[in-house]
Amino acid sequence: MTSPKPKSLLREASHQIIAGGSAGLVEICLMHPLDVIKTRGTSDPTSYKSLGDCFRTIFRNEGVFGFYKGILPPIVAETPKRAVKFFCFEQYKKLLGLTPLSPGVALTVAGLGCGLTEAVVVNPFEVVKSQPSTFAQARKIIKSGGFGLNGLNRGLTSTLGRHGIFNMIYFGFYFNVKDSIPASQDPTLEFLRKFTIGLVSGTISSCVNIPWDVAKSRIQGPQPVPGEINTRPASRPCAWYLALYKGLVPKIMRLGPGGAVMLLVYEYVSGWLSRNF
């Protein structure tokens, strides 16, 4: 077995970006059907008895290709975002490796750092995406609120929380647990070991960060009263608390296995690139 070739900074960065972009692309292609089911099932609940009924209806009326409607925009948007995510994580991990932090803490902090960086990069796009008539709304938002926290970067704090918390747990849990459980010499068992850890990592991350996700959607989404943020406070504390976890099950269905797919594809593509280029 050949050892990985020494990397220059440019080669290292290109490997991380290509592997991260590949991880995002594969994850979208595999998980998009769940997105379609989740979106239709939650946006029009009166038309379907359950998510299972939604799946059967789409398959019966539209066939297999019905599950891949609208896949191009996510590919165009998410592939570069995943490339940025993994590239930033690797760079923060490398930088923190020079500090006195323990490896486990360094991995967790690197995940937090990459999530915060990702949030700053994607927040303007999230604000525009949450509005109808994207380009017209972008011009309107910039004209009325500029590029600051009342304009194109509205909801930045909640986006920082969403991406920072998710990636801190996502990367920190995965790599710390993976390193603590002995690897298997059997390729199939090793794949299952990594997939299971990635699945748990994505699931826990989704459970912890969903309040920030809900807050972000409400702050950045269309507002019923112009200039007034739609927080929709509940009259009872219990109802208010439960509202923060609205959509948790569909999110876990999407990001649990999706998170595992991304980590595995990234590791395998990154390893292949290191050995061959």
Most confident of 14-28, 71-85, 231-245: 14-28
In the CATH scheme, what is the homologous superfamily, with its name and number, of domain 9-270? Answer: Mitochondrial carrier domain (1.50.40.10)
pLDDT at 255 over 80: yes
Q: Percent of the chain beyond pLDDT 70?
A: 75
DSSP code for 46:
G
Is residue 1 scored above 70 in pLDDT?
A: no
pLDDT of residue 258: 93
Q: pLDDT tens, 101-128?
A: 898 999 999 999 999 999 888 877 776 6
What's the pLDDT score for residue 42? 64
33-42, 149-158, 162-171, range with the lowest pLDDT? 149-158
Dihedral of alpha carbons 20, 262, 249, 47, sign? positive
pTM for the whole structure: 0.78
Using only C-alpha atoms, the chain has a radius of gyration, in whole angstroms, of 20
Does the pLDDT of residue 152 top 80, yes or no? no
**DSSP designation for 234:** -
pLDDT for 212 equals: 82
Helix (H, G, I), strand (E, B) or coil at 7: coil
Q: What's the CA gap between 261 and 225, in Å, rounded? A: 41
Higher per-residue pLDDT: 8 or 198: 198
pLDDT at 234: 47
Q: Is the dihedral of CA 46, 51, 214, 147 positive or negative?
A: negative
Assign 230 a pLDDT band (cuts: 50, 70, 90).
Answer: low
* Local structure of 225: helix, strand or coil: strand
Q: Stretch 130-159: mean pLDDT, rounded?
A: 65
Is the pLDDT reported for residue 184 higher than 60? yes
Give the chain's mean pLDDT.
82
Name the pLDDT band for 277 (thresholds 50, 70, 90): confident
Tokens representing 41? Answer: 């099932």
Most confident of 25-29, 48-52, 220-224: 25-29
Whether residue 147 has pLDDT greater than 80: no
User: What is the average pLDDT across 229-244?
Assistant: 55
- Given a cut of 80, whether residue 71 has pLDDT beyond it is yes
Among 16-20, 31-35, 164-168, the least confident range = 31-35
CB proximity list for 143: less than 8 A, separation 6 or greater: none
